[in-house]
Amino acid sequence: MADKNEYLDGPMWYVVHTYSGYENKVKANIEKSIQNLHLEDQILEVQVPMEEVVEIKDAKKKIVQKKLFPSYVLLHMIMNEETWYVVRNTRGVTGFVGPESKPVPLTPDEMIPFGISEDYDPGEMSEDEMPIEVDIEIGDRVKMINGVWADNEGTVTDIDLADETVTVSIDSFSRETDVTVGLLDVVKI
DSSP state of 103: -
pTM value is: 0.61
Each residue of 90-127: pLDDT tens digit?
999 999 999 987 899 998 888 877 666 544 444 555 66
**Confidence at residue 74, expressed as pLDDT on a 0 to 100 scale:** 94
**Confidence at residue 110, expressed as pLDDT on a 0 to 100 scale:** 83
Give CA–CA dist 151/6, Å, rounded.
67
Q: Flag residues of the chain having pLDDT under 50.
A: 1-5, 118-122
* Helix, strand or coil, per DSSP, at residue 6: helix
Closest CA to 83 of 24, 22, 1: 1
